[in-house]
Amino acid sequence: MTGLLLVAVGAAAGAPTRWWVDQQVQRRFAPVLPWGTFVVNVVGSFALGLLFSSGGLSSHAYLAVGVGFLGALTTFSSFAWETHRLAEDGAELMATVNVVGSVSGCLAAAALGWWIGTAL
């Protein structure tokens, strides 16, 4: 039961953070691409890489921050829906850019977070 509560508390903070960041980013950048989703996914991937690089993560921190907060902050479902919507609206090139940019950006961010974390 403790694990469930830790995940719930982390997610309760991560989901509104995702919404707020998405709103702020979309207001500042061209709405052709879903930049808000891109930003939260790249930042979350970096943070997860950094978090797991330490090796000394307690199970409580893993559940609250890794699963709860970062799990709610990042969003594969929004990424998939927004990519589908781009393609459906005839913006196949933008959909492809979104997929390639998001996947490569998230992988690079996670690797960078891991690398920085192990160097500290």
So what's the pLDDT on residue 120? 83
So what's the pLDDT on residue 42? 98
**What is the chain's mean pLDDT, rounded?**
94
* Domain map (residue ranges) of the chain: 2-119
So what's the pLDDT on residue 109? 98
Helical H segments across 29-91, by residue range: 35-53, 59-61, 70-73, 76-88
So what's the pLDDT on residue 73? 97
* Alpha-carbon dihedral sign for residues 76, 119, 66, 29: negative
Residue 55 pLDDT greater than 90, yes or no: no
Reported pTM: 0.92
Q: Which residues of 26-50 are buried (b: 16+ CB within 10 A; e: fewer)?
A: beeeeeebbbbbbbbbbbbbbbbbb
Q: What is the mean pLDDT of residues 71-88?
A: 96
